[in-house]
Amino acid sequence: MLVLLRPRYWGAHLLLVLAVVAAVLLGLWQLHVWQAARDSEALDLTRKPAIPLTRVMGGDDPFPGQYLGQPVSLRGSWMPKGTVYVSDRDLGARRGYWVVTPVLVGRSAMPVVRGWSPRAQAPAPTGEVTVDGWLQPSEGTGAVDGDGHDDVIPEMRVASMVEHVDADLYSGFVVSRQAAATTASTAYAGLAQVTPESIPEVSGTTSLRNLLYAIQWWIFGGFAVYIWSRWCRDTLADLDPDPAQEPDPAVDGERVPSSA
């Protein structure tokens, strides 16, 4: 084995060390991302003071997981033609619909859950508006939309609203907490308040992909060690030929002297 410590083989050993270190560090990084996402999901920010949406995210930004449930405030104009209804939403023992109307904030639209209705119909608001509500990520349970041409969608999935809204969409939505206010505008007339308790929990598989990436990197590190061990074994085999393969002196016509 000491022969493998010669300088000519240092490059192969160094390559192994770099591959294993990189695999371990990348795996730990993905594990940290997974744990951070779980910690963010466990936080209850719903009772925090509202902060401006512009401080949390922009129209082209991915959803900021650390602000899940954070109350935010935004100002813009209603987009009534983009109103949709999210089916199978419970309010106590009753099942109905979320009424969602986007609000144009700058050049991007933020879907706003105005409230709950027993039917898939509600007057669509117009004009300028200031919204105060809880920030939520786009849902993604994989529910199938039976009719993609109507204004009813099976879950609050931002991608499902693209064909209904003539503007770029934020990567999340806001559940308005103004329907229950005594000073609520006509935009919330006839709608019941959607509370954080009635918002479906984020899937338990949130950020699971990062955990799988971590495991994948560590498997790669183990595979690198396996390849290195095979290389070591093959190299030693080449350096130490099998004695059974040594040439026979008699093969080239040389005879071994007889003892007689």
202-235 pLDDT per residue, tens: 555 556 777 888 899 899 889 888 888 888 887 7
| pLDDT greater than 80 at residue 250 | no
Q: Rounded to whole angstroms, how far apart are CA atoms 237 and 121?
A: 79
pLDDT at position 80? 95
Residue 198 burial (C-beta neighbours within 10 Å; 0-12, 13-18, 19+): middle
- Alpha carbons 9 and 11: distance in angstroms, whole number: 5
Parallel/antiparallel/unpaired status of strands 51-52 and 168-169? unpaired
Percent of the chain with pLDDT over 70: 80
pLDDT of residue 144 exceeding 80, the answer is no
Give the C-alpha separation, 123 to 113, whole Å: 14
Residue 31: per-residue pLDDT: 83
> What is this structure's pTM?
0.63
How far the first Cα of the chain sits from its last, in Å, is 45
Nearest to residue 90, comparing CAs of 197, 172, 179? 197
Q: Which residues of 156-174 are buried (b: 16+ CB within 10 A; e: fewer)?
A: bbbebbeebbebebbbbbb
Nearest to 133 by CA among 167, 100, 161, 84: 100
The rounded distance, in Å, linking the Cα atoms of 234 and 15 is 17
Closest by Cα among 238, 241, 220, 250 to 19: 220
CB proximity list for 173: less than 8 A, separation 6 or greater: 100, 110, 111, 112, 113, 135, 136, 138, 156, 158
Q: What is the pLDDT of residue 150?
A: 87
The answer on pLDDT for 246 being more than 60 is: no
SS3 at position 168 = strand
Predicted pLDDT at 81: 94
* C-alpha distances in Å from residue 14, one per residue of 8, 11, 220, 257: 11, 5, 16, 53
Give the single-character DSSP code of 145: -
Residues 6 or more apart whose CB falls under 8 angstroms from that of 135 comprise 53, 56, 67, 68, 69, 70, 71, 72, 172, 173, 174
Higher pLDDT, 23 or 146: 23
In tens, the pLDDT along 5-21 reads 777 778 888 888 888 89
State the Cα–Cα distance between residues 182 and 210, nearest whole angstrom: 44
- Give yes or no for a contact between 131 and 79, defined as CB atoms under 8 angstroms apart: no
